[in-house]
Chain A
Amino acid sequence: MKAARFDYLRPGDVGEALAALANAEGAKILAGGQSLGPMLNLRLARPALLVDISRLKALQQLEDAGRTWHIGAGVTHARLEDARGRLSGGEMLSEVAAAIAYRSVRNRGTIGGSLAHADPAADWPLALAALGASVNVRGPTPRKILVAHFIQGAFTTTLAADEIIESIDVPKLSRAGRYGFYKFCRKTGEFAEASAAAVLDPETGVASIFLGALRGIPQPLTSLAQQVAREGKIAASTEAVSQALAQSVSGLDAVEHSMATAVVTRALMQVLAP
């Protein structure tokens, strides 16, 4: 289990990283390497060149940008975990970060890397979609795109080969806003069997519920979210969730449906907890 040969480049800034991506055949960004590393060692990923952006200062910001938290793509899960209590309006970020894999993985794994990797069972695509976060993409043409649109399928995003994620803007919750995040894993730190995130904020009017850990992208449960916003607990009963799932997510078998119902209901219970 030793990786196939690759070249390695540690660019000095984002521009250099982009130039490397544009010019080199088979170049691949290496951020924290916690998902890519296993693929490399298993020889399932065989890039010609790894462009290591893990030490780029420009990707390390964790800034209060007023209505959003501005998070550099290179910010590690552990940093967000340790920012618990200091991310006003972004508390969910710390909570989600703290439950990703294991601490020694969180110390190196990055939020940007997780989004770019787009593992359907991963936590960030789900949580950030529910939070209405946007991805700032750098490439030939800089662009900004909602996480919910950025992820296109299992391991698939709109990121082109010559683009990198520079940062993520996460809208803050107001003091009245609530979030819920529930994942069911067969064991601690493993891939989720089922997961759900819910964000409801009376002040901003945001109401979103997403179901994760599917074979493809996180699925929005829009009408359920709107109903819960309007009606509260009554709309979040197991039966209501079960029906909402039956209406908006196709292809779930009975077991998946039961798990999905449970994780959505439990995420909503966190939101609605007195």
Chain B
Amino acid sequence: MTPIALSVNGRKVQALVEPRTHLADFLREHCRLTGTHLGCEHGVCGACTVLIDDEPARSCLTYAVQCDGLAVQTIEGFNADPIMQELRTAFSREHGLQCGFCTPGMLIAARDIVRRLPDADARRIRVELSGNLCRCTGYLGIINAVESVIAARASKPTAVTSQAAAPPPAPLQAFAPTGEVARASMAAPTPAPEEAHKGWTRFEESFVVARPPQAVWTIFADIPAVAACLDGVELTEHDASTAKGKMTVRLGPIQAGFSGSAVIERDDRALRGTIRGAGSDRGTGSRTKGEILYRLAPEAAGQQTRVFVTVEYSLQGALAQFSRSGLVLELGRRLVADFAANLNARLVGAQMRAAPRTPFNAGRFLWSWFIDELRRRFGR
């Protein structure tokens, strides 16, 4: 628990809060100011909009501890505010509310528009209110209400004039460009069309390792070595054909630790292998199953190896439940790319990449182990 002191609607409030308690819950449960509503708790619907130091903000995305020393104003705190009175009258007249759930946030956002954009037209009001969702009204009454308040205020002499429009710029002149900001293009991942497992996502990658196939094959038999090349993998136990452990996956701030096991099959003659695994992350309630097929083929007169990898996986639970599934695919691809880079580094004894992009604590430990291991094996 963390002590905080802040002003709520002009009143000093002191409290002990858990850092994870967001401002809306603090206002609703602790201050008993229940006019601030929670409609999504992920910053899209705007029902929880309050003022923090006079600026509209999502109280579901701000934690109460962050407001220590600040001034918070909720819908209950505007009774002396003339704009709010005008808006309330206008909302009622224009039928800008039905169930009333979005109304407090809508009013606070609307008041900000009236103050900040004194000459906003209906289109602008719509754009500016787009962070507040209403499921009942179809918005028209709300827009009309805000527009009418702005119009009424504009007819008063205090209205602020907007900035003069800038003179139109001259057309662009042709020129010879210098320098280059850009860097090389990287392929965007696309799922391979056919699917062996119903409902699984599949992608294929290949990469070249600067060692002959047999040397690579040997390394692939070395489960700790392979694990060491997979960022975020912690091996807890293993034998020749099974492995147990935990894999920590991070994508930006998202982190999941999948505990699970894998079964490994190898075909020494064909230089093909299969790894089948499954794991679950209790934290996000997510589960995954996957199968990695790899195949080695000689390149550069047998001095190099091309590793063909086919990854198929399914994901269940919270981590799977987003429409931007391309990101998970991107993550999978990146794991393979990192694996390739790590493997190459291991095999040719190069230093690992200067700055690992996803620095896992577990990964770091393995990295240092892996550098030692690689020196020992290849004697460089």
Contacts and interface: CB of A to CB of B under 8 A. Distances in A.
B144 interface: no
A225 B185 contact: no
B76 interface: no
B172 A232 contact: yes
Nearest to B127: A188
Interface string B1-38: 01000000000000000111010010000000000000
Interface in B182-196: 182-183, 185-190
Given A1-B42, A38-B43, A156-B334, A219 B61 contact: no
Contact of A104 (B42, B131, B284): B131
A187 B129 CA distance: 12
B254 A39 contact: yes
Interface string B40-70: 0111001001001001111011110110100
Contacts of A222: 180, 182
Given A148-B181, A188-B127, A222-B182, A104 B188 contact: no
B42 A38 contact: yes
B63 A8 contact: yes
A230 interface: yes
Contacts of A261: none
B330 to A, nearest CB: 5
Contacts, number: 246
Interface string A168-206: 000000001010000000011101000000001110111
Given A216-B186, A231-B174, A252-B188, A50 B56 contact: no
B176 A229 contact: yes
Given A4-B283, A161-B359, A219 B174 contact: no
Contacts of B173: 176, 202
Contacts of B251: 154-156
Given A45-B253, A248-B185, A158 B355 contact: yes
Interface residues of B, number: 77
A45 B174 CA distance: 48
Q: Which of B60, B63, B284 has the most CB of A within 10 A?
A: B63
Main secondary structure of the interface of A (DSSP, over half): loop
B177 A102 contact: no
Contacts of A93: none
A153 interface: yes
A226 B66 contact: no
A107 B283 contact: no
Given A37-B42, A153-B334, A158-B355, 11 more contacts: A3-B20, A4-B20, A38-B42, A41-B60, A102-B132, A148-B182, A148-B183, A206-B181, A207-B175, A222-B182, A230-B177
Interface of A: 1-8, 10, 25, 28, 30, 33-47, 50, 52, 54, 78, 84-85, 101-105, 107-108, 117-121, 129-130, 132, 146, 148-149, 152-158, 160-161, 176, 178, 187-189, 191, 200-202, 204-208, 210, 214-217, 219-222, 225-226, 229-232, 248-253, 271-274
> 3 smallest A-B Cβ distances: which pairs?
A102-B131, A220-B182, A155-B252
